[in-house]
Amino acid sequence: MTHLEDFENGTLFQRDRRPQAPPLHRNDQGGITTTQHAAAQDDQAKGNVDIVLTAMRELFADKDLTAIDRYWAEPYVQHSPQMPNGLGTLRNVVPNLEGFSWEPQRIAAQGDLVFTHSIVHGWAPNPVAIVDIFRLDNGRIVEHWDVVQDIVSPEESANGNTMV
């Protein structure tokens, strides 16, 4: 067997005389996996992004509470300091949100985690930037973290940068 590693792109190319031997790939944790395994993780991450985007649109934009049954699962662990665990909280909060909109600006995913960086109206008195982290299990959202930041204009920011 011979191999050549591309450190910049995190790929290990191999040549093996055995025809069934899969190619290898360096994973995000520094280990080596097969290229097929890495592709499966990419497919899982992409599928999870689609689930989160659909779930959030159906629940918060369409106000369809049945989306909770399709896209979330118990035990639902909530890390937001203002919200208790469990899906009952979502069922109670969503109908009372006035003028709520969730506008994702950036999305990333890795394995069972989906990260969104969004502009949100109607959650606080003024628009806020929120980073949400969703963990999925078997295609359902089972855990959530968020970080909320007031949106200020670049002129008001010490660095002159926008919030999103």
pTM for this model (two decimals): 0.75
Question: Residue 82: what pLDDT?
Answer: 87
- Cβ atoms of residues 24 and 35 within 8 Å: yes
- Give 94's contacts (C-beta < 8 A, 6+ positions apart): 59, 60, 63, 65
At 4, phi and psi to the nearest 5? -135, 125
As a three-state string, the secondary structure of 77-123 is EECCCCCCCCHHHHHHHHHHCCCCEEEEEEEEEECCEEEEEEEEECC
Q: How confident is the model at residue 144 (pLDDT cuts 50, 70, 90)?
A: very high
Query: What number of helices (H) and strands (E) belong to the chain?
Result: 3, 9
Q: How confident is the model at residue 10 (pLDDT cuts 50, 70, 90)?
A: low
Distance of CA 54 to the CA centre of its chain: 12
How confident is the model over 43-94, as pLDDT tens digits? 889 999 999 999 999 999 999 999 999 999 999 999 998 899 999 999 999 9
Residue 42 predicted with pLDDT over 70? yes
Residue 17 predicted with pLDDT over 60? no
Task: Outline where the chain has alpha helix (H).
Answer: 35-56, 67-71, 87-93
CATH among 3.40.605.10, 1.20.1260.10, 3.10.450.50, 3.40.50.12240 for 36-150: 3.10.450.50
Q: To the nearest whole number, what is the mean pLDDT of the chain?
A: 85
The structure tokens listed for 9 are 């792109």
Using CA atoms, how far apart are residues 66 and 44, in angstroms rounded to an integer? 24
